[in-house]
Structure 1
Amino acid sequence: GSGGGGGGGRYGGSGGGGGGGGGGGNCFKCGEPGHFARECPQGG
């Protein structure tokens, strides 16, 4: 699945809250690349 809206800025995210996404090497919580759910700026 494709990523949802970014939640951060810390990782250069676009902001706009979390969202689904279960693809690539992206965080499954927020869909942003560069970190995993346990390292997610949204908490995980």
Structure 2
Amino acid sequence: MGVQFVVKKYGIKSDTTIKKWVKVFEKFGMEGLMRKQKRTTRFAQFKTMY
């Protein structure tokens, strides 16, 4: 499957998104593509700073 095919099939606005996903997958595998709860992590870091 090509990038343009995926963009059209799933209605993704930019092929840059797909290209980023591919790079992350190549480096970190499926775990790299899993959603992360950034808000909780940042809040915890903020609390420890002050």
Q: State the TM bucket, normalised to the shorter chain.
A: under 0.3
Structure in which a larger fraction of residues adopt helix:
2
Q: If you compute each CA radius of gyration, which structure gives the higher value, 1 or 2?
A: 2
Q: TM-score, normalised by structure 1?
A: 0.21
Q: TM-score, normalised by structure 2?
A: 0.20
Which structure ranks higher in relative contact order (CA pairs < 8 Å, sequence separation ≥ 6)?
Answer: 1
